[in-house]
């Protein structure tokens, strides 16, 4: 438990202590008029934090980083990254802070803020965040969690009372989020590019001990670390694809070592099935389109492998041979995870062979695309026996495999945070009305339970909305 009876929160400093070279001591900026907009009570409970205390002025002080336990050591984390394929040697937490680690049954969970003011990594940025994008991250990350997809969690969003200058003046906010860690591919790139082999080893040891302790026992622990991240990311990306999720900015600084989804910027769920789907206003080439995500993940993992080379073998050629063999595991792992997920979505038992499930699934996608069928609701309708004529021949074969349609209702969501609903909730919230946000949050955090009266939450966007929807990042 992180909270003592006197309600003192204990924040560890493992990251700051073990890898001080990439941890810059820093403070959050004062919030002139902090107002709690949303608090995740069930997550607070999981973390051993008292929800009613978090709502008090002291609790809100913790959630914006201005009233920390005396021994806390908040830090801005350094990292580099490839952004849209281009190398940026120094990114880091420009507007974020790691407050420290909460101990949850012996394992550390990062408590981290976004929008807490400029840090030495801010470059030209103002260090701030607006209410809309922070509530968006809260909503989408909690939806992902409810869908069983590994992700950072959202603990709270607090309005700061500060004005943030974007295209217009907006109200500022701070998001408090929780993660297994905030280590990224870019963290390793940052240290590797500096040529600090000893620091790189400490960073890798830190990652192994937090996320993949079994790797420490392997013949080559750092190769085992790479293998573990490859396996975790292959599973994660398969889950994104199965859910129709488009991350939008899969830069190497936005890919975790833990295998959790991180940094919800211009992300969205796809309505009509189309591999070319892009929502981000800045992704004009479609680098991070829905259908490219597995290939981009493999590209990012190759950057991680490059960063780890020096630890894997003193002989560089041997190191390259070893990481190449590891990276070659990605497509097989991804495809196995995707096929296993499709098996569940289609309600098929283990008696149907993998190859057959894979083929049936791929044929389904080929039919969905020209029909512009809504991806999420297709599987619920299929389970309910509602099959449109273009899918009839395919469905006849599927029925012949003896699907369990009740099991399908437990894995195919009715409710996802559809773009038009998210926009509606955020517009109301930024105008001061949190009710639509709270209602949408309740719906998407119980995604499999169909509720009477909530029909519009299960439906795709009206025609005039869907096609031209764009999201904006960096706000």
Q: Hey, which residues are catalytic here?
A: 253
Q: Is 48 in the site for ligand AMP (CB under 6 A)?
A: no
Q: How far apart are CA 419 and CA 108, in angstroms?
A: 34
Q: Is 333 in the site for ligand AMP (CB under 6 A)?
A: no
* Contacting range for Mg ion; rule: CB under 5 A; set: 208-216, 253-261, 319-327, 335-343: 253-261
Q: Is 297 in the site for ligand AMP (CB under 6 A)?
A: no
Query: Interface mask (CB under 6 A) for ligand AMP, residues 232-261, using x and -?
Result: -----------------x----x-------
Given Mg ion, ligand AMP, none, residue 249, with its beta carbon under 5 to 8 Å by kind, binds ligand AMP
Q: Is 213 in the site for ligand AMP (CB under 6 A)?
A: no
Work out the number of other CB atoms within 10 angstroms of the CB of residue 71. 11
Residue of 82, 95, 343, 380 interacting with ligand AMP (CB under 6 A): 95
In the complex with ligand AMP, the residue whose CB is nearer, 68 or 96, is: 96
Q: Is 77 in the site for Mg ion (CB under 5 A)?
A: no
Q: How far apart are CA 81 and CA 132, in angstroms?
A: 26
In the complex with Mg ion, the residue whose CB is nearer, 40 or 261, is: 261
Question: Considering the complex, what minimum distance in angstroms separates the CB of residue 254 from Mg ion?
Answer: 5
**What are the tokens at 79?**
């990292």
Question: Considering the complex, what minimum distance in angstroms separates the CB of residue 440 from Mg ion?
Answer: 24
Q: Is 125 in the site for ligand AMP (CB under 6 A)?
A: yes
Given Mg ion, ligand AMP, none, residue 473, with its beta carbon under 5 to 8 Å by kind, binds ligand AMP
Q: Is 172 in the site for ligand AMP (CB under 6 A)?
A: no
Residue of 91, 155, 191, 215 interacting with ligand AMP (CB under 6 A): 91
Q: Is 447 in the site for ligand AMP (CB under 6 A)?
A: no
- CA nearest to 187, candidates 204, 208, 172: 204
Question: Considering the complex, what minimum distance in angstroms separates the CB of residue 239 from ligand AMP?
Answer: 21
How big is the site for Mg ion, counted in residues (CB under 5 A)? Answer: 2
Per DSSP, what are the bridge partners of residue 153? 178
Question: Considering the complex, what minimum distance in angstroms separates the CB of residue 25 from Mg ion?
Answer: 21
Q: Is 287 in the site for ligand AMP (CB under 6 A)?
A: no
Q: Is 270 in the site for ligand AMP (CB under 6 A)?
A: no
Q: Is residue 424 a contact partner of residue 436, using CB atoms and an 8 Å limit? A: yes
**Interface with ligand AMP (CB under 6 A):** 91-96, 121-122, 125-128, 249, 254, 263, 265, 473-474
């Amino acid at each position: 438990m992180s909270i003592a009876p006197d309600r003192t929160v204990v924040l560890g400093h493992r990251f700051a202590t073990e890898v001080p070279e990439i941890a810059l001591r820093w403070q959050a900026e004062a919030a002139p008029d902090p107002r709690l907009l949303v608090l995740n009570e069930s997550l607070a409970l999981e973390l051993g934090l008292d929800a009613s205390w978090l709502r008090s002025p002291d609790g809100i002080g913790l959630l914006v980083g201005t009233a920390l336990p005396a021994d806390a050591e908040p830090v801005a984390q350094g990292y580099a990254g490839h952004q849209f394929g281009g190398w940026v040697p120094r990114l880091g937490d420009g507007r974020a802070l790691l407050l420290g680690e909460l101990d949850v049954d012996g394992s550390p969970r990062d408590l981290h803020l976004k929008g807490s003011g400029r840090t030495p990594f801010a470059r030209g940025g103002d260090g701030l965040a607006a209410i809309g994008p922070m509530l968006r991250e809260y909503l989408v990350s909690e939806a992902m969690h409810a869908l069983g997809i590994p992700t950072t969690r959202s603990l709270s969003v607090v309005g700061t009372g500060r004005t943030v200058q974007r295209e217009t003046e907006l109200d500022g906010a701070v998001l408090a989020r929780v993660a297994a860690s905030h280590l990224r591919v870019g963290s390793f790139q940052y240290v590797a590019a500096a040529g600090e082999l000893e620091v790189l080893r400490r960073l890798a040891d830190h990652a192994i001990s937090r996320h993949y302790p079994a790797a420490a026992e392997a013949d080559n622990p750092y190769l085992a670390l790479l293998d573990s991240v490859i396996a975790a990311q292959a599973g994660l990306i398969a889950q994104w694809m199965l859910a129709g999720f488009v991350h939008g900015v899969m830069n190497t600084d936005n890919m975790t070592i833990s295998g959790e989804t991180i940094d919800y910027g211009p992300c969205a769920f796809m309505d009509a099935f189309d591999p070319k789907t892009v929502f981000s206003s800045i992704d004009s080439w479609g680098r991070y389109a829905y259908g490219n995500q597995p290939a981009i993940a493999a590209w990012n993992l190759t950057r991680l492998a490059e960063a780890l080379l020096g630890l894997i073998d003193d002989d560089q050629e041997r190191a390259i041979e070893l990481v190449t063999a590891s990276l070659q595991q990605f497509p097989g792992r991804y495809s196995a995870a995707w096929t296993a997920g499709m098996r569940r979505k289609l309600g098929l038992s283990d008696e149907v062979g993998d190859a057959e499930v894979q083929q049936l699934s791929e044929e389904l996608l080929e039919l969905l695309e020209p029909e512009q069928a809504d991806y999420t609701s297709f599987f619920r309708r299929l389970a309910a026996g509602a099959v449109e004529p273009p899918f009839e021949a395919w469905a006849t074969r599927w029925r012949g495999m003896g699907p369990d349609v009740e099991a399908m209702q437990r894995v195919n969501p009715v409710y996802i945070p559809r773009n038009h609903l998210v926009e509606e909730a955020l517009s109301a919230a930024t105008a001061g009305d949190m009710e639509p946000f709270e209602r949408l949050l309740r719906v998407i955090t119980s995604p499999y339970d169909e509720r009477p009266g909530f029909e519009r939450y299960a439906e795709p966007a009206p025609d005039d909305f869907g096609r031209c929807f764009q999201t904006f990042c960096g706000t």
